[in-house]
Structure formats: C-alpha cells, structure tokens
Amino acid sequence: MQASSWRGRATSAALFLSYPLLMVTALWPLPWAFVVVAAVSYLADNQVPRVTPALNEILSKVHLGVTLRFVIRETATLLLAVRVLGADSSWFIALAAGMFLLHGARSVQTTLAFYLNRWVNVLPVVTRNVDLTALRIPPPPPAALVSYKGARLLYLDILPVGGAAVGVAAGVSWLGVAGAAIALAACAGSIVALLPHFRRAAVLRDRDRVIEHVDEQVRAYDPEVALYFSGSLDSAYQASMWLNTLARIERRAIVVLRERGMVDKLGPTTLPVVCIPSGTDLMNFRGLDSIRVTLFASNVGKNIHMLRLPGHRSVFIGHGDSDKEASFNPFTKVYDKVWVAGQAGRDRYIKANVGVRDEDVDEVGRPQLAGISTTRPGGSQQTVLYAPTWEGWQDDLFHTSIITMGPKIVKALLKSGVRVIYKPHPLTGHRDPAAGSAHRKVMSLLAAAGGNHRTVTGPEPHLYECFNEADLLISDISSVVADFLASGKPYVVTNVAGRPDEEFKERYPSADAAYLLGPALRELPEIIAELGRDEDAMAGARRKLKTYLLGPDQPDAMTRFNAAVNALYDQAAERAAAAASSQATDQVESRK
C-alpha cells in the first residue's frame, strides 16, 4: 500500500509539473529540456488512470481531461517550433496543418468507435441462451480500434510531438512533419479498418427491431416462472446460487436481469437469460406476459418495475437464510409470498413484526445444499474454513469479524498447525476500507505461511466445495452458518461484540449449536482440540438445529421447492384465467 501511495504521489506531481514546464521550455526555448519534459508528461498521462484513477476522474470533471492535456502538449510543441523555426517556415506550417488534420481524423475514428460500441455492445436487450441469429449481430471489431472510444489513438501524436521536439533540437526541421504524416496514415488506416464493421453493425441501430425480435423469441419459449434480479455486479452470486435449482423445476423458467454487465457475471446456466436495462422496455416486454410466478433474490429499488406487471405472483426467496437483518427486511411485505428454508425463517418474521403475515410465509427448504457432504474430509491435518461476512451497508448491519478479529484468527490457526482455507464475502471492503485492509493482511499471512493453505476470492471453487474440504467452519452471523449446518460438521460463530453466550444465542438462533469465539480468541484452543473427537460436544445440538433452520430431510428440499412453485403457478394461472374471463364479459356487456 505504501509503495502504491508513493507511486500515485510521484505520478501526480509529474503530471502537474510537466505541463507548465512544457510551456516554459517551449517559450524560452530549450529544445532538449522540452524533449525530456514531454517524455515525462506522456509517461505520467499513461500512468494516472492506473495508479491514481480518482485524480484522473477529478481532472475530467474540472475540464482538464486527457484530450485537453494532449492538446496542451501539442500546442506547446507548436510554440517551440515557431520560436525556433519562425512563423514563415514551411516546416512549421506543415507541422501545424498535420496536427490539425490528425485531430480531425481521430474525431472520425472516435465517432465510428462510439457508434459501434453503442450498436453492438449496448443493445437495448442483452441475452444468453436466446437465438438472435436473425439479427445478424456482427462480431466486434478488434479491441485496439474501439477501446476507450479512440483514446489510444491520442498517443499517435507522440510521433509529431517527439519528432518536432527532437528535430528542432537537432536541427532536422522536417522530422516533426514526417511524424505527423505517419500518425495520419495510421489513423486513416484504423478508420478504413472500422468502416466494414460500421456498415454491418448499422442494422442494429433500430432498437425497436432488436427488442421486438428478442420479444418474439421469448414468447416462443413461453416462460412460466422468472428469476428476477437487479443489483451491483459484485452481487451476481445472489442470483447465481438459484440457477441450478431453477433449471430443475418442472415449469419453464427464465432469468430476467436489469444491469447490462450482470449477464457476463452470472454463473453458467442453460436457462434463457434476458437483461432489459430500461424500466419502460421491461414493462412493455410482452414475452413476460406468460409468467405466473416471479422469484426475487434481493430487495432493490428496481424490483418495482417487475412487481407492477399484472398476472403473476411475486415471491421473495432471498439469497440465503440467516439471522442478519436482511432476512427480515420490512420491504419484504410487498411480495405475495415469502419462501424460507425452515421454521427459523418463519419465526424471524414473527419476532421482527415487520408486516409480513405468517400465512404468506412458506417453508420450502434450501435445494442448493444437496451437494454438501456430511462426511469429514479425513487426512492427517485438520482443515479450518474461515469465511467471514462483509461489513454491511450500514453500522447496524455490522456482523463481520474481518476487521477486529480476522488477522488474529488466521495467526492463531496457523500457530495451531491446522490447514486454513480463507473465503471472504465477495463484498468485503466494499463500504469500509478497514475491512479491505484486514482482508489483504489475512491474504499476506496465508501467503507467507506457504504450505497447502488456500485463499479463495473468486467464484471458484464454490463455497460449498470449500465446505466439503473443511473439518470446521469459522464464520460470522450470515447464511454461511445456516448452510454449513447441512454438513453436520462443527462450526464456530464469532461473537464480535463480546456479548454473553446466552444473550448472543437468543439473539441469533443459528448460533445455538455453535462454538462461540470472543474477541480475545480464548476459546479457540479448546475448539481445535474438539476436532480430534469422532463426535464433539455440540453434535446432537447441530442435528436438532439443522431441522429447525433448514427443514426436514424428507421430502427433500428440491421436491418441496418444486411443489411450492407448481402450487403457486396453479393459483396464479387460475386467477389470470378468471380475470381474462371477467374482462371478456365486460367487453361484451359494453357493446350491448
């Protein structure tokens, strides 16, 4: 972090100092000094987006963006040339004309790149597993020609700038003009290369035609159930965890997304995926009319667009049962139904009294947990999975141990001789920089320890695969705890605030069969010692709690979930048929 900070400061200083010095060395004139300062300014401009992205954004907002900085450097080059060669020099006039034409050519290239990106990469509807052959979507042009909407081509001016500066210093007046000619030729070549792509992609500028075609394809599929999801790209896991379950139900399912980048972040699936960023387009998308059950995995503002559509029953399924406040959010009362894993989920809503009626809550199990092994991995070395939650959107939702306990936990585990798997929540450090700092420290500790310890920060291996490798879980109040109970193996819940054990377990029922770990970690040696027993002291309590949190083993969760979908679908279909019949009767009566 410190080295990165110094690089950022050095780059910022070089950027701010180089431009005034360019003007000074041009007007003085000091040609060789100008060459050195120009080189520094190019290097600083290239590094700013990488090492100080915040500064780069601020400069753009205060009208000192990258394009203007390049123009200033080119202007300084022309000032140097006119001071040394004179305004009547034909080489100076040719250099000025060449730079002017280069700007025009870059503008043409940027325009082509902008519209190509808009037509090909910013379609009004983005899909997966939907046949779009009829749209004849062309392959994207080479990234080098369209990335950054032409910003890369700004650096072509290094040829006339560098050529002119070195030429003036060395007495070779034509060198800058030669550089301008080469830069113009390169820019013209990129324009010519883009034109065929531009012509083929022009058919996609008719957004209504694109939407209509996707709409037709979805209507042909005739979806019955939808998984609707909106959120930050980092939250894609919340929808991905339901994909395999939705693919196994008896009804035809579809995934409806709202954020364009979410399509690529979503996990693998054979289900049709439709991303409709515009709320207006979504509410006019007739392909969704056949849906009778819509499942919502998170509570976000854009849910309102889908909730407003008639004819379907809405269900909040969440993205994991836990004792965190997200599992009894007052917003949840807007849905027709709330599906929880077991009795614990129902009791949370009763206890919280947030407006969700008990008759609207159904216990459907957690079908995703079917792949969790109930056997210990074995081996000479015990494995502990440390999977802390994140810091939450606000302090009231702060359950993470990563900041105050994380590095201490990992140090103690390493000292005890166990193997450590560290899998943090994907949003760790998203709100609180201290969480990000502690996360990096944990990773450094594990990297320094070497051996077969493991850090898992991406989607693979999946959390449940990590469960299967572990003899013990250490986690915070979160759905990870409830899910791990499916394994029957011992688990530890961090008591970050150091509450009395009875108070803590009463407040958080999912910890009722857990070993609690306070801020001082005094309990950890005894907990590790329990791993050597065939059946530890909390085994019986875990079996009882598993049924309470996740529901009974028979019928299995997938059977119960599928039955819940079918029952609600039949109710919604019956209502829709009755509404259609009533509407038809009203129309007949109105004609009389």
Q: What is the pLDDT of residues 28-74, one digit of tens each?
A: 999 999 999 999 999 999 998 888 888 888 998 898 988 899 999 99
- Residue 371, phi then psi, degrees to nearest 5: -85, 5
| Helix spans in 277-400 (H) | 279-283, 303-307, 343-352
Look at residue 149 in the predicted model and tell me its pLDDT.
47
Percent of the chain with pLDDT over 70: 96
Contact 492, 481 (CB under 8 A): no
Percent of the chain with pLDDT over 90: 73
Contact 286, 260 (CB under 8 A): no
Angstrom distances, CA of residue 118 to CA of 99, 140, 281, 513 = 28, 11, 17, 54
Q: What is the 3-state secondary structure (H, E, C) of 449-513?
A: HCCCCEECCCCCCCHHHHHHHCCEEEECCCHHHHHHHHHCCCEEEECCCCCCHHHHHHHCHHHCC
Query: Looking at 39-48, 250-259, 327-336, 579-588, which range is the least confident one?
Result: 579-588
- Residue 118 vs residue 22, higher pLDDT: 22
**Burial grade of 588 (CB within 10 A; 0-12, 13-18, 19 or more):** exposed
Average pLDDT over residues 535-549: 93
**Burial grade of 213 (CB within 10 A; 0-12, 13-18, 19 or more):** middle
Digit-coded pLDDT (tens) for 436-491: 999 999 999 999 998 899 999 988 898 999 999 999 999 999 989 999 999 999 99
Cα gap 224→571, rounded to integer Å: 13
pLDDT at 429 over 90: no
Digit-coded pLDDT (tens) for 253-277: 999 999 999 999 999 999 999 999 9
Average pLDDT over residues 406-420: 96
pLDDT at 3 over 60: no
- Picking from 424, 410, 408, 421, the residue whose alpha carbon sits closest to that of residue 478 is 424
pLDDT at 2 over 50: no
Rounded-to-10 torsion of CA 188, 190, 191, 193: 120
pLDDT at 203 over 90: no
Digit-coded pLDDT (tens) for 213-231: 999 999 999 999 999 999 9
- Picking from 311, 317, 289, the residue whose alpha carbon sits closest to that of residue 223 is 289
Cα gap 342→321, rounded to integer Å: 9
Angstrom distances, CA of residue 276 to CA of 125, 272, 298 = 5, 13, 17
Strands 126-128 and 383-387: unpaired
| Helix spans in 117-174 (H) | 143-146, 151-154, 158-170
| Helix spans in 202-337 (H) | 207-221, 237-240, 243-248, 262-265, 279-283, 303-307
For the chain, the farthest-separated pair of C-alpha atoms sits apart, in whole angstroms, at 97
pLDDT at 396 over 70: no
Task: Please state the pTM of the whole predicted model.
Answer: 0.78
* Region of residue 417 (left: phi > 0; alpha: psi -120 to 50; beta: else): left
Residue 394 pLDDT grade (very low, low, confident, very high; cuts 50, 70, 90):
low
Mean pLDDT score of the chain, rounded to an integer?
91
CB atoms within 10 A of CB 84: 19
Cα gap 592→589, rounded to integer Å: 5
Q: Do you know the residue count of the chain?
A: 592
pLDDT at 158 over 60: yes
Digit-coded pLDDT (tens) for 507-519: 999 999 999 999 9
Digit-coded pLDDT (tens) for 83-124: 999 999 999 999 999 999 999 999 999 899 888 888 887 889
- Picking from 427, 404, 417, the residue whose alpha carbon sits closest to that of residue 451 is 417
Contact 165, 22 (CB under 8 A): no
CB atoms within 10 A of CB 60: 13
Digit-coded pLDDT (tens) for 524-538: 999 998 887 878 889
pLDDT at 6 over 90: no
Structure tokens at 427: 């949003």
Look at residue 143 in the predicted model and tell me its pLDDT.
77
pLDDT at 395 over 80: no
pLDDT at 328 over 90: no
Look at residue 1 in the predicted model and tell me its pLDDT.
39
Average pLDDT over residues 577-592: 74
**Burial grade of 133 (CB within 10 A; 0-12, 13-18, 19 or more):** exposed
The amino acid occupying position 379 is G
